[in-house]
A and B are shown apart, each in its own frame.
Chain A
Amino acid sequence: GENVEQHPSTLSVQEGDSAVIKCTYSDSASNYFPWYKQELGKGPQLIIDIRSNVGEKKDQRIAVTLNKTAKHFSLHITETQPEDSAVYFCAANPNQAGTALIFGKGTTLSVSS
């Protein structure tokens, strides 16, 4: 089955710096790669996603890149702000009806002002 590895597990940056989180997946059939942000005590929320027919997607300060050949994808946050501090999860979808997203173990991002 699908396996998703996420690095780093913790990341500390200064406000205004960029943050990059990387994930690799194992199942070449996976075709959907979302990123979720989880604030303390809450459920994760989707922040950006990318499908396998696209190499890069950007939404304001957040971007995701996908390399299908290498089976890895990354989240890029520019001009970080303290409110970006949270746990971020990457995930991959095995592209089968009814199956669930497989998540990485998460990255705790801390942005200090």
Chain B
Amino acid sequence: SQTIHQWPATLVQPVGSPLSLECTVEGTSNPNLYWYRQAAGRGLQLLFYSVGIGQISSEVPQNLSASRPQDRQFILSSKKLLLSDSGFYLCAWSLYTGVKYTGELFFGEGSRLTVL
């Protein structure tokens, strides 16, 4: 069965510090990978998605970046955090067979980031 791991679960960082959140998926190959952010009153905001190694699409211009160094690894980074980066970050994966897009997203347990 497929599982998704996301860490760290909680993080408290000062403004201006760097960020690295990591996500890995097990039990599937070539998944689509996503980073969402959940802030109060804004629902689930899509930040980045990736359809393959090294392929990153950005949905929201900001000081965050994403990378996919391996097939089942997705990393969210920042060089200098802002107060507005605080939120609940969710990694997710979905399966695209190449013929049919299944659509269902499987989420990790999330990483709560507090920037002080």
Residues on A lying within 8 angstroms of B by beta carbon are: 6, 32, 34, 36, 41-46, 49, 89, 91, 93, 95-106
| B 15-53 contacts with A by CB, 8 A | 32, 34, 36, 41-44, 46, 49, 51
Closest to A51 in B: B103
Size of B's binding interface in residues, CB under 8 A? 24
> What total count of A-B pairs have CB within 8 Å?
63
Other than A44-B105, A105-B42, give 10 A-B pairs with Cβ distance below 8 A: A34-B103, A34-B105, A43-B107, A44-B90, A89-B44, A91-B44, A97-B51, A98-B96, A100-B34, A101-B103
Residues on B lying within 8 angstroms of A by beta carbon are: 32, 34, 36, 41-44, 46, 49, 51, 57, 59, 90, 92, 96, 101, 103-105, 107-110, 112
**Minimum C-beta distance from A52 to chain B (A):** 11
Known contacts A98-B49, A100-B49; A42/B109 CB under 8 A: yes
Q: Using Cβ atoms and an 8 Å threshold, which residues of chain B touch A106?
A: 43-44
* B49, A99: Cβ atoms closer than 8 Å: yes
Question: What are 29 A-B interface contacts by the 8 Å CB criterion?
Answer: A6-B43, A32-B101, A32-B103, A34-B103, A34-B104, A34-B105, A36-B107, A42-B110, A44-B107, A45-B107, A49-B103, A89-B43, A93-B103, A97-B96, A97-B101, A98-B96, A99-B49, A100-B32, A100-B34, A100-B49, A100-B59, A101-B46, A101-B103, A101-B105, A103-B36, A103-B44, A103-B46, A105-B41, A106-B43
Closest to B4 in A: A43
Q: Using Cβ atoms and an 8 Å threshold, which residues of chain B touch A34?
A: 103-105
* B44, A44: Cβ atoms closer than 8 Å: yes
Closest to A31 in B: B103
In the bound complex, how far is the Cα of B57 from the Cα of A98, in angstroms? 10
**Minimum C-beta distance from A93 to chain B (A):** 5
**Minimum C-beta distance from A46 to chain B (A):** 6
